[in-house]
Structure 1
């Protein structure tokens, strides 16, 4: 019985998070337990638990007497998030340049190969998922557990911006080429150079996300 409950909770969370990423549930929208329970055909309990998880991840905020609302990522907040991401990913790639192995590079190359297929198929949400996995792998493979933990904490909000930045025509393949350059830099074993390449990539993603936000895309 508990397993069924967990499946329901995860399914509701996955639905809500996907709908927010796609823009089907928009920034500023209120998540009403009763309406969502009726729409999804479940009790309020998995709805409540899914909303709580989204709140813990910073995707929704609880407002007294109003309920849970999807966050609105202002240009200022998005810029701050990218600023932190640039520092963290720069550090991850610097460390990887010093400790990388053939197995690590094979894993990272696999993400890029899968991403290319999704980019060509124009499956942006699935591409964003692979993109997210690639960046989390950089943190995990760096060997710094604290770096991995912090990146995982931020990733849910970063994913919203990733989907936004990848929505521009031509950006998906451009993004993949930047990933390839990160791997090339890691292989060279030059920490300074690898860090600079990673930071450049994050800044490019920021430019596209900020454009979308300015156009009212978040």
Structure 2
């Protein structure tokens, strides 16, 4: 049943981001079950997980719908990420790297030598591991738990690149490696500055993907959404 739920989850995600299920579209357990050839229980569990991640929404007495995600929604997530993850980069660099974070950095450097030898999922997973290990390196339990909950609640937004562009996923490697280097060098200001720049690029990337998936992102919206993420010392 666990496997079927995961299969249902990934198939529904693909339908949403391929445009087969548009923003605001109603989702029927029965129809999805028939369309995917998967039992209704795994489909129900997958929809529940997607609701927790903010991808679908349940409207009482009306049903389940694909959630409309706006540029402002993404910007709000990234403003919170800026505060938390820039602090994490600074704290981790002040303390110095951990063996696990150094190992992760070494793997990403190997990937960077020939990104085409790895799948987008493999590179994206390495990036996720980097962010998680950076949190652990802060040794700040409250910060670690807060970011963990944020990533769980908006997990799909964090992983948008793996659904849209392998090149975009590859482009994250230099950012992650540079931050790793700054942490190893115990350069807090540099690590914080690099993280801020990384997050700004990440938001801009996701706004473009959102537009590709049908999200209304006017040309001026990118500048508005990224306001507050300016690179500073």
Alignment match, 1:129: 125
Alignment match, 1:194: 191
Alignment match, 1:145: 141
Write out the 4+ residue segments of structure 1 that deviate beyond 6 Å after TM superposition.
none
Per the normalisation by structure 2, the TM-score is 0.75
Counterpart contact for 2:58–2:65, Cα < 8 Å? yes
RMSD: 3.1
Alignment match, 1:55: 51
Unaligned residue ranges in structure 2 (runs of 5+): 216-233
Pair 1:129–1:30, CA change in 2 (3 A): farther
Shift in Å, 1:85: 1.1
Counterpart contact for 1:60–1:71, Cα < 8 Å? yes
Shift in Å, 1:34: 0.2
Counterpart contact for 1:30–1:70, Cα < 8 Å? yes
Pair 1:44–1:168, CA change in 2 (3 A): closer
Q: Which residues in structure 2 correspond to 1:85-96 (within 5 Å)?
A: 85-96=81-92
Q: Which residues in structure 2 correspond to 1:6-155 (within 5 Å)?
A: 6-17=2-13, 19-20=15-16, 25-113=21-109, 115-116=111-112, 119-121=115-117, 123-155=119-151
Unaligned residue ranges in structure 1 (runs of 5+): none
Counterpart contact for 1:162–1:205, Cα < 8 Å? no
Shift in Å, 1:81: 0.9
Per the normalisation by structure 1, the TM-score is 0.79
